[in-house]
Amino acid sequence: IILRSMIDYRISLYQASRHRIQVHVTLPTPEDETILRIAAWRPGRYEEGNFARLISNLNVYHGSQRIPTEKISKNEWLVHTKGIDSIALSYLYYCAELTAGNTYLDEKLLLINPVNLLVYNDYCKKSEIKLTIEIPQEWSLAGLEQKPNSLAEFITLDEAFDTPILASPSIVSYSYEISDYTFYIHSVGAHGISSEQLIKDFKHFTAQQVQAFGEFPTSTFSFLLIGVQDKYLHGVEHLNNTVIVLGPTAEWKSTRYESLLAVASHELYHVWNVKTIRPLEMLPYRFEGPTYSRLGYVYEGITTFFGDYYLLTGGLITSERYLQLLEAQIQTHVDNVGRFAYSVADSSIDTWVDGYVKGTPGRKVSIYNEGCLMAFILDAKIREATKNKSTLQHLMKRLFYAFGLTQIGYTENDIKGQLQEISEIDFSTLFDQYIHAANGYESLLQEAFSFYGIELRQEVPAELHKGSLGIKILTKTEKTFIMDIASGSPADVGGLAEGDQLVSINGKEITTNLSEVLSSLKHEVLKLVILRRGENIEKTLPLVQRTFYPTMKLVMNETAEHQIKKNRQHFGI
C-alpha cells in the first residue's frame, strides 16, 4: 500500500488594507533540482494570466537555512535541492483586483482562487492538497459544501485549483434541491432580492438544465455571488461552484436582475460543457503554458446559447426578450468586419494572443458571440431534419455520456459524427465554410429563422453617425470619441481613426449632441475638426451613397402556417 502525502498550504491575511495575503507551504524535494511554478493561466480564461507578477518576498528555507532561488521563466523558479528532502516556502501575494477569477482581499472580503495563488512543484501533482485558511473568528467560509465538514482537503492539485473559496463576515446563504442534488446560493452585498424570489428563479433554470442532461455531474453546487458598487459583470465556471461578481449591487433587484440570472445560467451549463465535457487538448489541464483549442465555439458559444435558452424555457424571460437577446448577438456579428477576416475556429486559438480585449479592429470574431449564433443555426437544422424530434441539446447529452462521464476528451470529428447520427445530415461543408473559413452568417441565420416564421431584417440605423458616417462613438465627460469605423464608409475614406475625438462639424462644436448637429447638416459636405494626439486636424468626408451599420431586427410572422407554429411551440417561443 502506497500512502500519498498531503501538502498543507497555510493562507493568512497578512495585510488586508493593502490587499496582501501570505502563503506558507512545505514541499517535498526528492530531486537534485526543484522547479517551483505558478500557473500560467486559469480555466475559464483562455489567455495567459501573468500571476507571477503578484508574488513578492518569495523565500525558500531548509530548516533555518535560506536557500537561494533563481527566476528562470515568467512563472518558474529554480531551487537547488541536492541532498534536501523538503523545503519551506513562503511568499506574499498582492490581490487588489476583484474579478470572479482572481484572488482578492480587503477588510471585509476574501476570495481565494487557488489556481492563481498557489506556488507548486511537480510533486504536488502526485499529492493530496490541504488548504488551511486563517480568517477572523467572526468570518465564515463558503464554497466547500462538497467537502466533509467543510475541510479544504483535496484529492488532487487539479481539484484544489478548481475550487474557489469565499470568506466574509457578511455571507448570506440559501439552498434548494433539484432531484437528488443540492444547490447553494452564497452572496455578499445587500442586493435586496428576497430569498423566495432568488431560490424560485434559480430553481427554474437549474431544473431545466438538469432535466435536459438527465443528471448533474456533482452532488452539490454553490453559486458564490459578490456584489460591487460599479457597473460590472463577470462569472467563472468550476465543477462544484461558480463565482459571479456583479454590480452595482443596488440594481440587482431591478435593472441587473436579468444579468444575474443570465450569467448564473451560463456558468451552471458550464458544469457539463467544459468542466465535464472537455476537448481532448484540455484533458487534463496543463497549467504550465497555453492550452490551445479551436473548439471555443463549442465550450463557450454553445454554453452562451443554452444559458439564455434555459431562461426562456424556464419562464424567466419572455419570447420577445429572448429574440432581443438574439438580435443583439446578430448585431454584433454584422457590425464586425472581422467575420470576413478570421474564422471562429482561428479566433478560438487567438484568445491566447489578444486576450479578451478588443484588439486590432476587424481582426477576429468572438467565440462567445459567433459560437452562440452557430449553435442556434445547428439547433434549427437538427430540428428541421428530425421534425423536432431532436435538438442541439441531444448532441450535448450524447457528449456528456460518451465523453464527459468517461473523461475522454472529444474532437471536432466527434462533434460532426454525433451531429450526423442525430440528424442524418453531413455538416462537413458547413464546418468548412463557416467555422473554419471567414464568412458572414447572415444567409444561414435567415434560413434558420425562417423555420420559425421569423424574418431577419436590415433597417437603417436611427443614429445618423452610424448610418451616414459609418462610425460608432463613445461620449465621456462631454467629449465624443470614435470607437469603431465601418470599412468603405465616409469616416474610413476620409481619414478618421479609432480614438479620434470629434471637436466640431462644419464649425458646430460637438459635446454630447452629435446626432442633433448631423440632423441639421444632412445635405452639406462635412468638414470635421478632430483631436488626435493633442493636435487639431481638419478632415473633409466624402459623400457615399450607401448606409452603414444596419440595425438588425427579428420580426415574427403573425400569419404563420400550422407547422411553423408547431416549430415555435417546440422551441419554446
> Going residue by residue through the chain (573 aa), what tens digit of pLDDT does each one get?
334 579 999 999 999 999 999 999 999 999 999 999 999 999 999 999 999 999 999 999 999 999 999 999 999 999 999 999 999 999 999 999 999 999 999 999 999 999 999 999 999 999 999 999 999 999 999 998 866 544 678 989 999 999 999 999 999 999 999 999 999 999 999 899 999 999 999 999 999 999 999 999 999 999 999 999 999 999 999 999 999 999 999 999 999 999 999 999 999 999 999 999 999 999 999 999 999 999 999 999 999 999 999 999 999 999 999 999 999 999 999 999 999 999 999 999 999 998 888 889 899 999 999 999 999 999 999 999 999 999 999 999 999 999 999 999 999 999 999 999 999 999 999 999 999 999 999 999 999 999 999 999 999 999 999 999 999 999 998 899 999 999 999 999 999 999 999 999 999 999 878 888 888 877 778 999 999 999 999 999 988 888 999 999 999 998 779 999 999 999 999
What does the alpha-carbon distance between residue 26 and residue 148 come to, in Å, rounded to a whole number?
Answer: 24
**Cα–Cα distance measured from residue 100 to residue 233, given in angstroms and rounded to the nearest whole number:** 9
Query: Roughly how many angstroms between the first and final C-alpha of the chain, as a whole number?
Result: 59
Give the strand pairing for 501-505 and 508-509.
antiparallel
Please report which helix (H) or strand (E) contains residue 26, including its range: strand 20-28
Give the rounded distance of the alpha carbon of 227 from its chain centre: 18
| Sequence-separated (6 or more) residues with CB below 8 Å from residue 153 | 6, 128, 129, 130, 131, 147
Q: What is the pLDDT of residues 212-241, one digit of tens each?
A: 999 999 999 999 999 999 999 999 999 999
Helix (H) or strand (E) holding 166: strand 165-168
> Does pTM surpass 0.85?
yes
Q: Which three cell numbers stand for residue 329?
A: 448577438
Does residue 540 sit in helix, strand or coil?
strand
